[in-house]
A and B are shown apart, each in its own frame.
Chain A
């Protein structure tokens, strides 16, 4: 009588584990996803649709996640792609070329002005950092840029805002 070899985890179990991870990410980070994506969609309704659709696609394709980056970064790219599909003719645009803006710039005109001094394609970095609270590494992974570029962009945004505040007579 020979001992049976321990069987490898089935694809089903792997998928189930990933499914739970995606669900956990959704439940814990939904608001951050939606608020950051709103800068791509141009509004919160569109952002909600993109997040729902993006997570649905990620959940559906979870077996295809190869694990060569973080699961969160992978889901972010899918969600942002779903948001870009809402913008006619931009579905195939590289994520680091996407022009985004605050949904309600009139709510903080000083910040809006400061952000406008950044190259449009770098604003997504700022929104991912401050609306979604993503670490530099994940932002770099999502936008497919260096971590150094992420840090430089955020420093530039901070400097621009500080300058604006000084011009407005506010101590930064």
Chain B
């Protein structure tokens, strides 16, 4: 018998768990637990910014132990009830034991098989493109179809909508439900037009709240139960009824939950080391509490609004190694870039991020997040292709070799992370009439690809 809490039990605990105010949760419980764990396991000041990819696996295992302990001590805090959902050691161990180690996403010949991986594992880390950069409705179909046409891309997430049939969408209102429905329809049609009708997807990135998810996931013509349901929770170690609504809706549809929240460097867990402990805890708890199928391993640095800086990459690699070596969960990571389409720096940032997560044992990555995800239409299929190429080819790399490559990449962009070159929107680096990249943008792609090969990431030559 699987002794792990089912969704009924989780909802019960959301109402009957220990009461804790928001402030006490953040400043006393979370901060205290992470500080104590860092001290107890001698994990303070171990972030090695000179070597952004860790090669000391004992250290990664120690981070896992610390994170496991924090998970048991804390649990998840529920915003709506201000109560804590806690799980026992047996429940947590069983949730991890019965978590899937393989998962087929999509249908038929277009489907993608995710597998649990370890550092240096030759099985490919699969790639979902892109993150939820907002895209204008008039170019949405062309752009998203263009991403799906990139054969290296395994799973389609693609951009989000802010209008539906020309109407502005307000989140948390019926507009969002309507937009979710149309997002699902457009997304499915894009996969069909790309000649990959069974291609797996992650949806719905447009669904900020549960309203959008109700409209998009499981509705006829929208996201299918063979696609991953995107369930982001607001902050690490915190959930709310919207998150739980999305989980329940996904389970009702017979679907697959992909729930994540990044460990925030500079946020409540403090330094990079704290973010790793916090994310290990948050990731494994999501399997016990949110019935996760895929997820865990995300890092974000609130000071840089990115994670391709040195501390960000170090934490990204460390949390991936910690989870990959000690569980068989399907780890999902994101590399958060800040530069934009048309720039060399964007491709350097992508290469550093993807080489880190793929070599360290991630099963799935979603990206890129061009221009920090801040600007409308600042995403093109070409950088999605590059992202997938690096993800696949870095999959078999030993983290030691990936570290050497990343050390060469970082100096090429890190000075500009705070004030990045956001590049140009789709309409300026792609020919909208043909849906093809401009010669200038393709030339940048070819140039950087050659450089990255010379740095040791074994991409196929152009």
Q: Do A and B bind each other?
A: no
